[in-house]
Structure 1
Amino acid sequence: MSTQDSPRRAVVIGGGIGGLAAAALLAAEGWDTALFEARDELGGRAGSWEHEGFRFDTGPSWYLMPEVFDHFFRLLGTTADRELDLVPLDPAYRVYSDPSTGLDPLDVRSGRAAATALFESVEPGAGARLDAYLDSAADAYDLAVNRFLYDTYETTAGLRDPALLRRMPRLAPLLTRTLARHVETRFADPRLRQILEYPAVFLGGSPYGVPSLYHLMSHLDLDDRVLYPRGGFTELIRAVERLAEASGVVIETGARVTSITTEAGAATGVELADGRCVSADLVVSGADLHHTETQLVARAEQTYPEEWWRSRTPSPGALLVMLGVEGALPQLAHHTLLFRQDWRAGFDDIFGPHPRIPDPASLYICRPSATDPNVAPPEHENLFVLVPVPADPSLGHGGIDGDGEPRIETAADRVIAQIADWCGIPDLASRIVVRRTVAPGDFADDLGAWRGNALGLAHTLRQSAVFRPRNASRTVDGLSYVGASTLPGIGLPMCLISAELVVKRLRGDRSPGPLAEPARV
């Protein structure tokens, strides 16, 4: 790849996957690229923590949209299979309901035949309805990838394409109806509804708030496969870091950028906390967009000033509980979901007018030791528990071995007791040998996350696609953005695409689809 007649020096702020991917692509384009990460490790939200023989991913743990990863790696002359050891999960995940309902846990397996058979076994007639639902989800996913996700929206040409306009009669209801309504008019069993509605949390929202276009997410876990990169998601970060450095990127950790310098309305570089000034013709910020706009750029040059954020919706915050447990835990799959009975009330606790930590919670458990023996010592298990909570740093901070703030540790105790009760592991608490909690206060302090949110800007209708913050400043030439708060959205694949959008803008490519891949050798 090459970009002609353009400035050659680029600085990238932040070593999350978006920043690393942008740096790698820019270097491959011929830019002299440096990346500065404030923390001592790379990965951002996709971090890693090691303690007493356990290694925990501290963020993303679902490998979805594999074709996006494949495309990114091919842009850099390699493949996902060459860089990662990807393992398909079977079951894709397990679902537990509140024991008071008397409902049995369900193992969800990927593949149309397995998914429709499961739905039919739970609710007669639901198999055929799921078949139609997944046809629609696959169509919506194809539309998203080819028309929406890779569009910089510098023009509306893609949105005015006659082929897209012909689909508007089917598309419009998916934009005006919530995901919950879309699901609940089709399925009656609460477990089936929850299986189809829970992906809203991956999008940083509630099924009662995100548009039903996002039923496309069910194509990913039910039609497609759920994969796991052996070694954990830190291996994905290492792979992108490796490719960035191979392309010539100079990476510095422990290097905090304190401001973006400008002259005559154009970015000229960055200043660092150690007093250095680094000049650049292009600055790409992978820091949290709110932090970038309100802390790194002068007020007169902010595209998204503080008042803009007052009317925006963050994703939920998160209470993370990382547990090293002695002995086996066959009750848990690699991915396990616990769904409370009063489903909507749980989302009201997070997004409603009186936010609080839900109790009981609908929560997610990752047990990577089910698949990967290297993440825990022999005869031990590794658990990563994520509890969606309000995006509010005042909820407090976590800590190691129970030394977080009392409110957070008490909530973690309740979560451990809930897992023990719902999943039939009565001695779980007594078997814990390593414990760490992370809370919204930590997300705010450690990652600069706006309001301590865990994922980015929620995918409400007014924060999706053309309505989402663009990847370039409107007021400062040569300032671009990557990450979960900008186009196209939340999640590792979206962050990879956001990096590609930076390159598309530099090339003047206003097409709605992905960049052409280099010829395979």
Structure 2
Amino acid sequence: MSAGRTASVIGGGIAGLATAALLAAEGYTVTLLEARRELGGRAGLWEADGYRFDTGPSWYLMPEVFEHFFALLGTSASEQLELERLDPGYRVFTENGAAPLDIVADFEANVALFESIEPGAGARLRRYVASASDAYELALGRFLYNTFDDPRSLIGPDVLRRAPAIAGLGARSLNGLIQKHVRDPQLQQVLGYPAVFLGSSPFDVPSLYHLMSHLDFGDGVYYPQGGFSTIIDSIAALAEAGGVRILTDARVTAITTDSGTDDGADAGAAGATGARPKRSRRRRARATATGVRYLDAQGAEHALQSDIVVSAADLHFTETSLLPAELQSYPEEWWTERNPGPGAVLVMLGVRGSLPELSHHNLFFIDNWEDNFSAIYGSPSFIPDPASIYVCRPSASDPSAAPPDHENLFVLVPVPADPEIGSGGLGRRGSARVEGAADAAIQQIAQWAGIPDLALRVVLRRTVGPADFADDLNSWRGGALGPAHTLRQSAFFRGKNASSLVDGLYYAGGSTIPGIGLPMCLISAELVIKKLRGDRSGAPLHAPLAARTAATSSAPR
């Protein structure tokens, strides 16, 4: 076991909290340090005038990942959360004025919907989702829980049997695969929108990610009553019950190491995941993590010693701001050709009266989808207008999200990852470009959903811009989600979960493996435990953690 060993965890978002809880279950004495006053990171909470807003994630997907995580800690999702399956899962509005589409909980009804729009599309949807479910099963059992430290973990009868299909899925874009199954533009958008969850577009992610369609058509879409902050509260409570000490208003300024020894490493080698830009050969130092330095709310500096350090903060920030240049596995030049994913303008609205025109989840798709993504990811980039936007109405399912006879709307406008777009604010006090994007989104919702007086009914308004993501969350380039899941930023091409130059330094969160989103962050926490145990398999850990024997543990790295 790891009794007597200590760990410092940087960041109080879901990845940091989950990592701290699992480390405590492994026997570590854990201190978690969060720079802000509140926990949650991107999964934040804002309450005002009787409204409760989730300020980040709002889709509860991959329920088996949540269930497995809670099982590791000896509990269950049903014990920790009050989950409701949404029906419809989401509603789709289009620019051309067609009647909105509801994707419902009944798969057969969705098959019939596709068939009614495009003859033959119903049968092709069956085949598409069957393939997605098969790919998802393979990903769960072989890839998502993999540290990619042992190539043999990627090979087995299940992989070899699917090898031709996997090769084909990696060779074309998601959009290319979708076009083989449906021709109707609206149906193509329904199958392609999950690419946005991956911080990219269906034109750029490999078609292997069609597995995402298993989530809405197979698993279904859920909502935790009380909002997503209940997930954060639950994991924080489990961590504290396990003995984790949580410090808020504790801004880490450095990861401390021993003096380091010269190991003769070639600086141009890819000591971490992914090819690095070529640099001149020089000898690199190697060191061991010894703890962190941090500032408290009064600005006083403290030193905290520990046997290991896990940073669940943004990987770019961790590497370039908390480590000296000679100990950076991912120095600044490594990031120059990386894709940060989209930025976002978030708009939180309190609205007088009811909004039956909207479902809980709503997707607004413009006709020329490819141009929309080009505006966000192209060069030069700009805020698209109109934009393909997402609107969440949690008060449709959760009366506690808004005062009586009022509604709660959370609007996400994808924009370039660029802090120069500006910050948001309460009322209309944000930067001009942020508030302009918010105004355009409100007008778009009003027109497309048939709510002409929407703007007049807004009684509370707050915006968030890319500069807020950069300033408040240390997000690289103000990205809203994390590095995009393009082919060269997925799986073993993504940032690994341990430093190649500092022993005892590990990483968790959306900017490392396996990727972005709440479920992926939970898996990233588990991957830290696998790394510490020396477990190089591609399978999840057996639950609960407390049931493991001392023989299965191993020294760090």
The verdict on a shared fold, with TM-score over 0.5 as the criterion, is: yes
**2:135 corresponds to:** 140
Counterpart of 2:152 in 1: which secondary structure? coil
Amino acid at match of 1:38: A
**1:161 corresponds to:** 156
Structure 2: gaps (5+ residues): 261-286, 548-557
Q: CA deviation at 1:114?
A: 2.1
Q: Deviations over 1:219-249 (max 9, x none)?
A: 1001221000000000000000010000000
Q: Give the distance between the partners of 1:132 and 1:375, measured in 2 at CA.
A: 38
Q: Give the distance between the partners of 1:487 and 1:395, measured in 2 at CA.
A: 29
**2:329 corresponds to:** 303
Is 1:498 matched up with 2:519?
no
User: Do the aligned partners of 1:7 and 1:282 also contact (CA within 8 Å) in 2?
Assistant: no
**1:13 corresponds to:** 10
Q: Give the distance between the partners of 1:333 and 1:293, measured in 2 at CA.
A: 41
Return the match for 1:81 from 78, 85, 88. Answer: 78
Q: Following superposition, which runs of at least 4 residues in structure 1 exceed 6 angstroms of deviation?
A: none
Is 1:72 matched up with 2:69?
yes
Is 1:252 matched up with 2:251?
no
Q: Give the distance between the partners of 1:303 and 1:155, measured in 2 at CA.
A: 19
Is 1:272 matched up with 2:298?
no
Counterpart of 1:185 in 2: which secondary structure? helix
Q: Give the distance between the partners of 2:4 and 2:330, measured in 1 at CA.
A: 26
Q: Give the distance between the partners of 1:60 and 1:179, measured in 2 at CA.
A: 23
User: Do the aligned partners of 1:178 and 1:212 also contact (CA within 8 Å) in 2?
Assistant: yes
Counterpart of 1:397 in 2: which secondary structure? coil
Return the match for 2:343 from 287, 293, 317. Answer: 317
Q: Deviations over 1:157-200 (max 9, x none)?
A: 11233441332111011111000111012211111000000000
User: Do the aligned partners of 2:361 and 2:390 also contact (CA within 8 Å) in 1?
Assistant: yes
Q: CA deviation at 1:24?
A: 0.1
Taking a change above 3 Å as real, the CA distance of residues 115 and 309 of structure 1, as seen in their structure-2 partners, is same
Q: Give the distance between the partners of 1:7 and 1:204, measured in 2 at CA.
A: 40
Q: Give the distance between the partners of 1:163 and 1:58, measured in 2 at CA.
A: 40
Q: Give the distance between the partners of 2:242 and 2:116, measured in 1 at CA.
A: 52
User: Do the aligned partners of 1:316 and 1:391 also contact (CA within 8 Å) in 2?
Assistant: yes
Is 1:115 matched up with 2:141?
no
| 155-164 or 365-374: bigger deviation | 155-164
Is 1:128 matched up with 2:123?
yes
Q: Give the distance between the partners of 1:182 and 1:309, measured in 2 at CA.
A: 30
User: Do the aligned partners of 2:7 and 2:306 also contact (CA within 8 Å) in 1?
Assistant: yes
User: Do the aligned partners of 1:110 and 1:224 also contact (CA within 8 Å) in 2?
Assistant: no
Amino acid at match of 1:44: G
Q: Give the distance between the partners of 1:222 and 1:156, measured in 2 at CA.
A: 32
**1:347 corresponds to:** 373
Amino acid at match of 1:347: F
Amino acid at match of 1:515: L
Return the match for 2:60 from 59, 63, 82. Answer: 63
Percentage identity across paired residues of the two chains: 61
Counterpart of 1:266 in 2: which secondary structure? strand
User: Do the aligned partners of 2:4 and 2:27 also contact (CA within 8 Å) in 1?
Assistant: no
1:323-334 alignment runs, 5 A limit: 323-334=349-360
User: Do the aligned partners of 2:351 and 2:458 also contact (CA within 8 Å) in 1?
Assistant: yes
Amino acid at match of 1:476: V
**1:26 corresponds to:** 23
Amino acid at match of 2:29: D
User: Do the aligned partners of 1:322 and 1:383 also contact (CA within 8 Å) in 2?
Assistant: yes
**1:455 corresponds to:** 481
Q: Deviations over 1:41-62 (max 9, x none)?
A: 0000000001111110000000
Amino acid at match of 2:138: L
| 291-300 or 162-171: bigger deviation | 162-171
Counterpart of 1:167 in 2: which secondary structure? helix
Return the match for 1:283 from 293, 309, 312. Answer: 309
**1:394 corresponds to:** 420
Return the match for 1:215 from 174, 198, 210. Answer: 210
Q: Give the distance between the partners of 2:513 and 2:439, measured in 1 at CA.
A: 37
Q: Give the distance between the partners of 1:258 and 1:464, measured in 2 at CA.
A: 29
Paired residue total: 516
User: Do the aligned partners of 2:73 and 2:545 also contact (CA within 8 Å) in 1?
Assistant: no
1:477-516 alignment runs, 5 A limit: 477-516=503-542
**1:427 corresponds to:** 453
User: Do the aligned partners of 2:60 and 2:221 also contact (CA within 8 Å) in 1?
Assistant: yes
Q: Give the distance between the partners of 1:259 and 1:102, measured in 2 at CA.
A: 54
User: Do the aligned partners of 1:471 and 1:481 also contact (CA within 8 Å) in 2?
Assistant: yes
Q: Deviations over 1:62-104 (max 9, x none)?
A: 0000000000000000000000000110100000011xx2421
Q: CA deviation at 1:403?
A: 0.4
Q: CA deviation at 1:7?
A: 6.3
Q: Give the distance between the partners of 2:303 and 2:219, measured in 1 at CA.
A: 47
Amino acid at match of 2:249: G
User: Do the aligned partners of 1:158 and 1:511 also contact (CA within 8 Å) in 2?
Assistant: yes
Q: CA deviation at 1:519?
A: 9.2
**2:90 corresponds to:** 93
Return the match for 1:54 from 51, 56, 67. Answer: 51
Q: Deviations over 1:238-291 (max 9, x none)?
A: 000010000000001110000000013100000012310000001000110000
Q: Give the distance between the partners of 1:290 and 1:111, measured in 2 at CA.
A: 42
Counterpart of 2:154 in 1: which secondary structure? coil
Counterpart of 1:254 in 2: which secondary structure? coil
Q: Give the distance between the partners of 1:323 and 1:258, measured in 2 at CA.
A: 35
Taking a change above 3 Å as real, the CA distance of residues 225 and 433 of structure 1, as seen in their structure-2 partners, is same
**1:443 corresponds to:** 469
Counterpart of 1:23 in 2: which secondary structure? helix
User: Do the aligned partners of 1:111 and 1:223 also contact (CA within 8 Å) in 2?
Assistant: no
User: Do the aligned partners of 1:111 and 1:225 also contact (CA within 8 Å) in 2?
Assistant: no
1:207-246 alignment runs, 5 A limit: 207-246=202-241
**2:185 corresponds to:** 190
Amino acid at match of 1:510: R
Q: CA deviation at 1:112?
A: 2.5
Q: Give the distance between the partners of 2:123 and 2:157, measured in 1 at CA.
A: 32
Q: Give the distance between the partners of 1:180 and 1:325, measured in 2 at CA.
A: 36
Amino acid at match of 1:490: I
